[in-house]
Amino acid sequence: MTMKTPSRRYIVCLKPVPDPSRFDKLRLDPETMLLRRGDVPQVVNPGDRHAIEAAVDLKKRFGGTIACLTMAPPDAREQLEEALAMGCDRACLLTDRAFAGADTLATARALAAAVRKLGRFDLILCGCYSADGSTGQVGPQLAELLGIPDLTHALSLRLQGRRLQARCGLQDGTAALEAGLPALVSLDPRANVPPLPPMRGISGALAKKIPAWSAADLGLAPAEVGLAGSPTRMLNVFTPAAGRKGEILQGSANEVAAQLLEKLRGEKILPARGGKGSS
Amino acid sequence: MLDMNFDFPNPVRIVQRTARDFARQAVAPLVAGMEETGRFPKSLVPKMAEVGLLGLVTPRRYGGSELGFLARTVALQEIGRVSAAVACALQVHHMQAAAIQDWGTPAQKEKYLPRLCRGEFLGTVAVTEPTGGSDLLGMATTAVPAAGGYALNGSKCFITNAHLAGAPVVIAKTGEGSRGLSAFIVEKGTRGFAPGREERKMGLRGADTGELFFKNCRVPEQNLLGDEGEGMKAALKTIGEAGRPGMAAIALGILDAALDEAVKFSKSRNLYGKPISNIQAIQWSIADILVDLETSKLLCYRASWLKDQGREDCATAMTLAKLHATEAACRATRKALEIHGGCGAMLEFPVQRLWRDAMVCVSAGGTTEIGKIVLSRSVLA
Ligand SMILES: Cc1cc2nc3c(=O)[nH]c(=O)nc-3n(C[C@H](O)[C@H](O)[C@H](O)COP(=O)(O)OP(=O)(O)OC[C@H]3O[C@@H](n4cnc5c(N)ncnc54)[C@H](O)[C@@H]3O)c2cc1C
């Protein structure tokens, strides 16, 4: 912990999303098929809170400073202020009309340019998914553009000299992974419990200036960003018809329960009669 | 276009979300127990300290966040929406912090404000006596000069956080007339000072309300808060600029909850084959609740904003907000309760608690009648 390395620099990427607890109030614009974001207040993407907390925790354990970034409309200052309140040291807002309509790649490109502009860094921390788009692509694309290793679904992190050690979640089980710094890591929601931004943090954030960077500030041409720089085109948005096999069991409660047990055993969802867990 | 901004600034929005999440996570699970036992859950104090709720109006240099009274109103509203009782404990705690901030010497601030922010103990301001809360000058507790300070004799009643306060501010008589009251900080453990019984209340159950007794209680000179004779001014400013907006904010929380419950019930209760929200009489009641909520919000936010601007006229605005919001909460919770029919009388439904809590908010912080006296004076004088 008291190694004489230059102070570590962490970067957290975060996204404002419509408050997931009010998703029932969200509507799609029938013309553009995009979310009408004005209908619901924006919050820090819940997944990204885990990245902020992981960075704050690394800072506590290994020292360093945290910068947070978002590419978003100007009112995303609120989400950056919240990240400052949670313990980030500085924040930069990437904002430009030209960024509008960006897909994950154009977003990652703008973020990569901002990371370069920030200078030396050791670790980039992201959430795994955004609550609205939920592609899980921006983190890995950003790592690819920066040419650095990328670990996803991290459950716990350790810094050992110039190496990052992480336990990462897999479909079933976990993997112990290691990467050289600088690296990018995306945090599994199970990694930590992000605390609420404390009031002192909120008032502390008031004193900090948040610079706004345009595409030009980042040295990006209009064709590289926003809709123009996005290879993805959304053709249609629809809810797939869910075709499920439905079966209604008949009889008294006891009979129905017995029939259900038989079926579940037949499908091997429950062990056969007499096995562990049968009643 | 000429601008008049009704949006909260970003930090207030962040405070609002934090308080809302805190209320949901830390306070909601305690409400049933508080209703049952009438006791304040002490485990909540360190949690409120950690998230910074205890230091909202205290300067950063003393461990607070200095976010001000609008942020406080919004935070109390969110806590009050889940538990008016917890919000009451918190608002009275802020009253003591404000009193020490406004009247304390640097040494008193240094000594007590950080401890109030850390939640070493809760705060309170003890004014009311059995002789009547409205009649401030009628109080009977005396403080007479004694070696190295004062000797206090008398009692206080209806004091919030009576058993949780570590060093309450106490108003006592040091003379006659409006310059005859003084304020003291009385530390728990001082000989001759003890809290009395815990009151059993119909509402705000779980907020600690009780008596304080002083029997030849020696308070050192350095615990005089403000100058001798400034107690009336200190009490009126603290009640007027911190206590009333605090109770008003709690009423906002109750109004929010009343609307939530009324909407939820009327959409789920079916009569004549459809939800009762289709019945015009029910719709009108819901509109009435909304009017009460929204008018109260405007008055409370504006009054808090005036205070944050350092405006002298904030006290009248706060009395107006307090009177309107607490009366509105009584009307609205009664409507919400009636929408519930017989269910409204059942303890399983939170709406009856809202109504009981609203009724108790009317006199706490000064009654409606006293509010009307203050308001009419502001235009007749
Ligand atoms: C839950 C709760 C918490 C409280 N917390 C505190 C606390 O922390 N610290 C503290 O000091 N006090 C506290 N109080 C006391 C509160 O401030 C008093 O209850 C309030 O000031 C009214 O005083 P009272 O109850 O003695 O009623 P009274 O003063 O006896 O009033 C009785 C009635 O007479 C009316 N009345 C009085 N004078 C006039 C007048 N001039 N014209 C017309 N009508 C009049 C009143 O409006 C009321 O209707 C609390 C009260 C409650 C219920």
Asked if A202's CB is within 8 angstroms of B18's CB, the reply is yes
For B125-148, what is each residue's pLDDT tens digit? 999 999 999 999 999 999 999 999
- The per-residue pLDDT for A211 is 97
pLDDT for residue A277? 47
Whether B163 is covered by a domain: the verdict is: yes
> Residues A130, A132, A136, A139: is their CA dihedral positive or negative?
negative
| Continuous segment of H or E residues that includes residue A90 | strand A90-94
Torsion angle of the four alpha carbons B369, B375, B377, B380, in this order, in degrees rounded to the nearest 10: -120
Q: Are residues B247 and B343 in the same domain?
A: yes
* For residue B337, pLDDT beyond 80: yes
Last residue of a domain, one of B118, B140, B161: B118
pLDDT at B377 over 80: yes
Pairing of strands B193-198, B209-220: antiparallel
Do B162 and B198 sit in the same domain of this protein? yes
Q: pTM, whole model, 2 decimals?
A: 0.91
In a domain? residue B3: no
Question: Tokens 């969110």, residue?
Answer: B78
B103 and B156 inside one domain = no
Note down the domain range covering B372. Answer: 239-380
Mean pLDDT of B136-162: 97
Q: Please say if the pLDDT value at position A61 is more than 50.
A: yes
| Strand locations in B161-290 (E) | 169-173, 181-185, 193-198, 209-220, 224-225, 270-271, 274-275
When CB atoms are compared, the residue of B11, B51, B64 closest to A206 is: B11
Q: Count Cα neighbours of A231 within 13 Å in the Cβ-side half-sphere.
A: 3
Instruction: Tell me which of B127, B134, B208, B212 to substitute to probe ligand 1's pocket, judged by most ligand atoms within 8 Å of the beta carbon.
Output: B134
* Any domain includes B2: no
Find out whether B158 and B195 touch, Cβ atoms under 8 Å: no
Count of other CB atoms within 10 angstroms of residue B110: 12
Q: How far is CA B48 from CA A198, A247, B67, B73, B304, in A?
A: 10, 51, 15, 16, 21
B171-206 pLDDT, tens digit each: 999 999 999 999 999 999 999 999 999 999 999 999
Beta carbons within 10 angstroms of residue B87's beta carbon: 33
Task: Let me know whether B204 and B303 are in one domain.
Answer: no
How many C-alpha atoms does B94 have within 13 Å on its Cβ side? 35
The CATH code of the domain that includes B178 is: 2.40.110.10
Q: Is residue B4 in some structural domain?
A: no
Q: What is the pLDDT of residue A4?
A: 61
- CA B212 to ligand 1 center in whole angstroms: 16
Q: Is B273 in the same domain as B372?
A: yes
Residue A279 has pLDDT above 70, yes or no: no
CATH of A9-229, one of 3.40.50.620, 3.20.20.70, 3.50.50.60, 3.40.50.1700: 3.40.50.620
Which tokens in the block code for residue B66?
């200095």
Say which amino acid occupies B114.
Answer: P
The phi and psi torsions of B193 (rounded to 5 degrees) equal: -115, 125
Q: At B79, phi and psi to the nearest 5? A: -70, -45
CATH of the domain at B348: 1.20.140.10
Interval B50-66 mean pLDDT: 97
Asked if residues B65 and A203 have their Cβ atoms less than 8 Å apart, the reply is: yes
Nearest residue (CA) to ligand 1, atom 41:
B370
Query: What does pLDDT average to over chain A?
Result: 91
Looking at B92, B118, B144, which one is the last position of a domain?
A: B118
Residue A111, burial from CB neighbour count under 10 angstroms (0-12, 13-18, 19+): buried
Domain count, chain B: 3
Please report whether residue B292 resides in a domain: yes
* A234-262 average pLDDT score: 87
Q: Which of B73, B102, B118 is the last residue of a domain?
A: B118
DSSP-assigned beta bridge partners for residue B152: B143, B217
Query: Measured between beta carbons, which residues in chain A are less than 8 angstroms from residue B17?
Result: 43
Q: Judge if B36 and B68 occupy the same domain.
A: yes
Q: CA of A207 to nearest chain B CA: how many angstroms apart? A: 11
Q: Which of A27-32's residues contact partners 24+ apart within 8 Å by CB, and which partners?
A: A28/A237
* Domain residue limits, chain A: 9-229, 243-279
CB contact under 8 A, B56 and A200: no
Nearest to B165 by CA among B225, B97, B224, B104: B97
User: B53, A199: Cβ pair inside 8 Å?
Assistant: yes
C-alpha torsion A79→A22→A108→A240, nearest 10: 180
B160, B268: one domain: no
* Per-residue exposure over A59-98, b if at least 16 CB sit within 10 Å of its own CB, e if not: beebebebbbbbbbbeebbbbbbbbbbbbbebbbbbbbeb
pLDDT level of residue B335 (50, 70, 90 thresholds): very high
**CA distance linking residue B308 with residue B42, whole number of Å:** 30
Q: What is the identity of the amino acid at B324?
A: H
> Do B309 and B185 reside in the same domain of the chain?
no
pLDDT band at A89 (very low <50, low <70, confident <90, very high): very high
Size of interface A-B (CB pairs under 8 A): 56
Complex ipTM over 0.95: no
The answer to whether B65 contacts A200, with C-beta atoms less than 8 Å apart, is yes
For A133-159, what is the mean pLDDT?
Answer: 94
Residues B282 and B372 in one domain: yes
Residue B80 in contact with residue B243, Cβ under 8 Å?
no
> B348 lies in a domain?
yes
Test site for ligand 1: of B128, B160, B239, most ligand atoms within 8 A of the Cβ: B128
B277 with B197, same domain: the answer is no
Query: For residue B275, what are the β-bridge partners?
Result: B270
B200-231 tens-digit pLDDT: 999 999 999 999 999 999 999 999 999 999 99
